[in-house]
Chains A and B, each alone.
Chain A
Amino acid sequence: MERSFIISAIVEHKPGVLHKIANMFSRRGFNIDSLSVGETVGPDLARMTITIKGDEATAQQVIKQLAKLIDVINVGTLDPDRTVQRELALIKLKIGKPEDRSMIMDYTNIFRGRIIDVSTDSVVVEITGTPDKMNAFISLSASFGILEIARTGITALSRGMGSIQIENKSEGIW
């Protein structure tokens, strides 16, 4: 059965690593839905959050192929029920009529977003949340006219004490 998987990987934070990982996906025909990368604990480590769609076997293969990469220090899937996930989107909306501005402010408040830039004929809204929330806001605000959207892709952590450790890469991967 096809579903979404959130994969979290701790990787070496150095040039060329993103290429090696992206290359593995393209070479083996796996699709990336979203990808976010950033520095994590320690300046020489990065955390990648990758979402993919597929069946269980595909997800297993993706994990194993990622684990096999030497620059991947540890990798695992996050259980959606025990995971907090967020995405950030910046959405630039057109102000067609003067009353649009207050309506956009209302919607933004309802979605607990923020207006971070205003000009005479446009506003930029910042929304943080799950992808569903993002999509709901985007479809709601479509009537104003969407000028641009920039989304970060999902980033996620497991709830509670559980964590993807850097020390214990599953041995025997090779």
Chain B
Amino acid sequence: MAEMSGAKALLESLKREKVNVVFGIPGGANLPIYDALIDSGIRHILCRHEQSAAHMADGFARASGMAGVCFATSGPGTTNLVTGIANAQMDSSPVVAITGQVATSFIGKDAFQETDTMGITTPITKYNFQPRNANEIPIVVKKAFYIATTGRPGPVVIDIPKDVQNQEAEIDFPKKVDIRGYKPNGEPEMEGVKNGAKLLADADRPMILAGGGIKASQAHQSLQRLAEFLNAPVATTFMGKGCIPEDHPLSLGIVGMHGTPEANTLILEADVLLAIGVRLSDRTTGNIDEFCSNAKIIHADIDAAEVGKNRIADVSIIGDANKTLNKLAASVVRKVQKGKKDEWVKRAEQLKNEREISESGDTAFAPRLILKTLRKLLPRNTIVTTEVGQNQMWAGLFFKSYLPRTFISSGGLGTMGFGFPASLGAKIAKPSVPVVDIAGDGSFMMTENSLGTSVVEKIPVTVVVLNNSMLGMPAQWQRFFYNRRYSAVDLKRIPDLVKLASSYGAQGVRVSSVEELEHAVKTALKSDVTTVIDVPISPEEDVLPMVSPGNGLSSTMGVT
């Protein structure tokens, strides 16, 4: 017990949750928090827009596995955060957002910079709190971190009225937390495991679809072990990219709208699919009625509500991915069916080889070659973030990911402007690892002002902008589905990115060949300041292959 202000209690509570960095912007309703911040010893990263603060916290969380924290003031500060919070919710990322609110006596009076934070954030958070007394703050913070980081992770908002921040109270810091309506356990029930194991053992063509849940539960090794044991090829969702090294013989890459031909082909041929840590979203399954319609699906997820939401599962297993994989591995009785399975794996290898051969002759300095070159240049442990749109899907297809938590992208919400601030958050989480944002010009321009943050706070990352002066993905859809009638996709003139970078005190370079790219990347990786590499590309480039929306995965366009 000690007497202190609510703001001081907040900072002290954050330290007890091992928070050493927060991302944010001060304003009228969170000034007491910012005053207490000075003496807290917690590093503060001053952002240029609250959306970027939330994305930085998100990038930090995804790179580190710990909760990322952001601060914003009431009203517009909070509404600016909303995109970032929704992004974290869709991708199950543990972000704790702490917002200032007008004083309790003003709540509901439409006071200056008042907004209904609890109302706005309810649908886009795992939970939200509004403590009305300073002495509630420590337990609220404890609960917020517990909720954000356990079970299926997700964002939590703590909305603190200004008078509560200022209020002096006797503060007690709890060591434990108990929420009677929230008991994440994660232990899968044996019945589902046994049934699943039996299906897998009896399968002729078993396959695994692995998603973001593998990353959240650190189940990479267990996944690889089970896949090798079953001799089952592994496709991933976009969120699961890299949860098995993409150069592993059993890895098929991403499945879905912009999936690899081998993943999209084989998943429809499998007779048993273990879908684990996935929610079977529309971008992954294509037309759900045509998705594995003849296969048995074992759907395993920690969130019971995901199982049966989009597709009925033949076997459902509710539990933590790592525990589930280990229990499955322990329960699968290997059957003597080696011959059949060998054929199945050979087919997977053959499809993979065919694609790799077809792509090997690239000479044009176009996205596929650019991304494959980047992969060769960057160390295996490089953390890559992406923007959203064509750049993201090219990265998904052509930039292989090898290690856990090294591919960070806005999968569910598809938030343009995510990649660059997320890369800064990731760099703070892993300062010794190179961090590269694979960007498009349209997306990068949405949060490009974070260059200010990167320079001032000395967070050096590399941004590779695939620059076509277009909103490339809508342009591609207009080419494919609207008879090339372009509507509002040509940005016509974007700033000179080299000059833009240098005006912030970062460095910029433009490249137009593999050699120039190699030189630029090598220089950037050694630099102690952020580098923007401007890579002009043709506005006519498409992301292929592609399954057009509403179709099944079998109708893939542009397979070469």
Contacts and interface: CB of A to CB of B under 8 A. Distances in A.
B118 A171 contact: no
A140 to B, nearest CB: 43
Interface hub of A60, A71, A166, A174 (most chain B Cβ within 10 A):
A174
| Main DSSP-derived SS at the B contact region | loop
Interface string A148-174: 000000000000000000100111111
Interface stretch (B226-234, B299-307, B349-357, B360-368): B299-307
Interface in A44-97: 57, 60-61, 64-65, 67-73
A65 B184 CA distance: 15
Interface stretch (A16-24, A30-38, A109-117, A122-130): A16-24
A27 interface: yes
B122 A174 contact: no
A70 B179 contact: yes
Contacts, number: 73
B495 interface: no
B304 A173 contact: yes
B304 A172 contact: yes
Nearest to A12: B181
B55 interface: no
A61 B311 CA distance: 12
B318 interface: yes
Contacts of B188: 172
A174 B151 contact: yes
Q: Which of A19, A23, A64, A70 has the most CB of B within 10 A?
A: A70
B149 to A, nearest CB: 12
A18 B123 CA distance: 13
B308 interface: yes
B161 to A, nearest CB: 14
A64 B302 CA distance: 12
B429 to A, nearest CB: 24
A174 B181 contact: no
B96 to A, nearest CB: 15
Contacts of A12: 181
Contacts of B179: 70
B123 A166 contact: no
Contacts of B152: 174
B305 A64 contact: yes
Nearest to A167: B180
Contacts of B119: 19
Interface in B172-195: 179-189
A73 B312 contact: no
Given A23-B122, A23-B123, A70-B147, A169 B180 contact: yes
A26 to B, nearest CB: 9
Contacts of A64: 304-305, 308-309
Interface centre among A57, A68, A69 (most CB of B within 10 A): A68
Nearest to B126: A70
Contacts of B304: 64, 67-68, 170, 172-174
B127 A70 contact: yes
A172 B181 contact: no
Nearest to B119: A19
B319 interface: yes
Nearest to A72: B181
B150 interface: yes
A72 B305 CA distance: 14
Contacts of A27: 123
Contact of A16 (B118, B147, B182, B189): B118
Nearest to B150: A174
A172 B319 CA distance: 6
Given A16-B118, A68-B303, A61 B308 contact: yes
A73 B182 CA distance: 8
B118 A61 contact: no
A118 to B, nearest CB: 40
Interface in B118-176: 118-119, 122-123, 126-127, 130, 147, 150-152
Interface of B: 118-119, 122-123, 126-127, 130, 147, 150-152, 179-189, 302-305, 308-309, 312, 318-319
22 contacts: A11-B181, A12-B181, A19-B119, A19-B122, A23-B122, A27-B123, A57-B308, A61-B305, A68-B305, A70-B147, A70-B182, A73-B180, A166-B180, A169-B183, A172-B186, A172-B189, A173-B183, A173-B303, A173-B305, A174-B150, A174-B303, A174-B304
Interface of A: 11-12, 16, 19-20, 23, 27, 57, 60-61, 64-65, 67-73, 166, 169-174
